[in-house]
Chain A
Amino acid sequence: MYADFDLIIPETLDAALAALAEGNGETRALAGGTNMIVDLRARRAKPARLVGLGKIEALRGIRIADGRVTLGARTTMSEILHHPGLAEHAPSLVAQARVFGGQMVRNAATLAGNICSGSPAADAVPPLLARDAEVTLASPGGTRVVPLHRFFLGYKKDARAPDELMTEIAWNLPQAPSAELFYKLARRKGDAITVVGVAVALDVENGVCSRARVALGAVAPVVKRATAAEALLTGQALTPALIEAAAQRAVQEVDPIDDIRASAGYRRHTVHALTRRLVTQAWDRLG
C-alpha cells in the first residue's frame, strides 16, 4: 500500500490505551479495518501509527445476563448474526447484521468500528439507539459511560477524546412487553450502502405505548432519534391517525441530502413511509 504507517498489535487493553494516549492524535485504533484500510488507501486517513486491537480478549464477547446485553467493542457483525441469544433479545441488531456489507466484511467489521466510523448510514446505530444503548469509553485516566444518543456531535464528530477507545456497548432489556423492527432501504439487499435505515422499538403497558423509539439513518449528518415523533406516541394507545401524525413529525426532524444513492425528497418520503409502516407493524405485534 502506498500509505505509510507503523503498526503495533498489543496484547492488553492497557497497552493499547497507553499507545493511543502517547500518540497525540496521530495514532488511530484499528479494529476490523473495513473502513480504515479503505480510508488509508484513499489517503482520507493519515495516521503515523495504527494500534491493532485483534489480540485484546477484553474487547470481545457477547453477554446476556441480569436483564442486560453487553457486547465487546470488537464483536463482529458475523458474531452478532450467528449468536443464539441475540436473535431473541436484539432482533433489529441481528437484522442489520444480515444486510451489513457482504460476508467477508461481516466477518471483519466490528460493532464499535461501525459506530465510530461516524457514518450517517452506519447500519448498527439505529437498532442500538432504539434500545437506548450506552457506550463505554476508556483512556489511561479511567472509563466513562456515554448514552449513544449523546455520542454523535456532528458529521463524523463524536464524543471521544483522542486518547479514548470504545470498549463496550450495552443496554438494558425491556421490562415491559416490547417489539422492535429494522428496515434498510438500499439499491439491493446485500453489499449496498443504506439509502434510509429505520429502527423502531415500542413497549406496551396497560394498553398504551409506554416507550417509543424511532431511530433514523442516512437522513441527517448523524444517525438520530425522531424524539418529537416518539413523544407523540408515548403514553397513547396507538391508532392509524396517531401513527400517521408521528410519521409526518419524523419527516420534520430529518435533514437529508441529495447524493448518488437518492434525493433528499425521496429520503423524506421514505422516512414517512417506513416510520408509519414499522410503528404499525410493531404495535400490531404487541396487540
Chain B
Amino acid sequence: MAKTKTITLAINGRERALEAPANATLLETLREHGYFEVKSGCEKGDCGACAVLVDGAAFDSCLTLTWTVAGRAITTVAGLSEAGTKHPLIEAFETTGAVQCGYCIPGLILAAQSMLATTPDPSDDEIREGLSGNLCRCTGYTKVFDAVRQAAASLRNEISRKKTGREEGGAA
C-alpha cells in the first residue's frame, strides 16, 4: 500500500486538508472529495476533461500527483465565478450554445481561462493552440471558438472598465 499523508490545498478559495496516498492523482483526490465537476476522460493527457487551474494555469489533473501540488491554489470550474456573479466564459458558453452534453466543458472553460490569462486578445490560431488539448465529441468546436472570442472581449472590457472607468472603444 502506498504511503498516505495529509495534503493542504486551497480549492476554490477554501483551505482543505485532505488525506492522499503517494500514488493519488489530483483527479482522484478531487473527485473522492466531491469535486465531481472535474471529469475523468482518457487519463492520458489527450482529452483535457480533467483540467483544473493550479495557481491560475491549466493542468491535466489526471497527470498530476496530488502530493506535488501541496500548498497550491486549485480552481475547478465551480470556483471560477466570483461570488454572486457568473464568469464571462461560463456566460459565453451558455449564450453561444457551445455546450451540448457538457462533459468536456469544465476542461474547455478552464483551458480557455488559462490561455486568456497569458493571451487576453487571442487570434483564432492562438485559440486553437490554447484549446488543442481539449477534445469535444459533440460539436465542431465552432461555437466553442465563438464563446471564447465573446468572453475574451468581455474580460478585456472588464479590465479596461476597472482601469479607466470606461468601456473599451466607447464613451463612458
Instruction: Convert B40-53 into 0s and 1s, putting 1 for each residue whose CB lies closer than 8 angstroms to a CB of A.
Output: 00011110100100
Interface segment out of the listed B79-87, B130-138, B142-150: B130-138
- Could you tell me which residues of chain B, from 1 to 52, have a CB within 8 Å of some CB in chain A? 1-3, 22-25, 28, 43-46, 48, 51
| Identity of the chain A residue whose Cβ is nearest the Cβ of B69 in the assembled complex | A54
Selected contact of B43 from candidates A41, A108, A189, CB within 8 Å:
A41
Selected contact of B128 from candidates A3, A30, A38, A190, CB within 8 Å:
A190
Is there an interface contact between A105 and B45, defined as CB atoms closer than 8 Å?
yes
Selected contact of B132 from candidates A5, A52, A54, A190, CB within 8 Å:
A190
Known: A103-B114, A189-B128. A52 touches B68 (CB 8 A): yes
Is there an interface contact between B67 and A7, defined as CB atoms closer than 8 Å?
yes
Known: A5-B2, A38-B44. A102 touches B63 (CB 8 A): no
Known: A4-B1, A33-B63, A52-B67. A103 touches B25 (CB 8 A): no
Q: Does B98 contact A (CB under 8 A)?
A: no
A81 to B67, CA, bound (A): 27
How many residues of chain A get a CB closer than 8 Å to chain B's CBs? Answer: 32
CB proximity of A67 to chain B, nearest CB, Å? 29
Point out the residues of chain B lying under 8 angstroms from A52, CB to CB.
Answer: 65, 67-68
CB proximity of A276 to chain B, nearest CB, Å? 26
Q: Does A82 contact B (CB under 8 A)?
A: yes
Is there an interface contact between B133 and A37, defined as CB atoms closer than 8 Å?
no
List residues of chain A with CB under 8 Å of any chain B CB.
Answer: 1, 3-7, 9, 30, 32-34, 37-38, 40-41, 50, 52, 54, 78, 82, 98, 101-108, 189-191
Can you list 7 A-B contacts with CB-CB less than 8 angstroms, sorted by A residue number? A1-B24, A6-B2, A52-B65, A102-B48, A104-B60, A105-B63, A190-B133
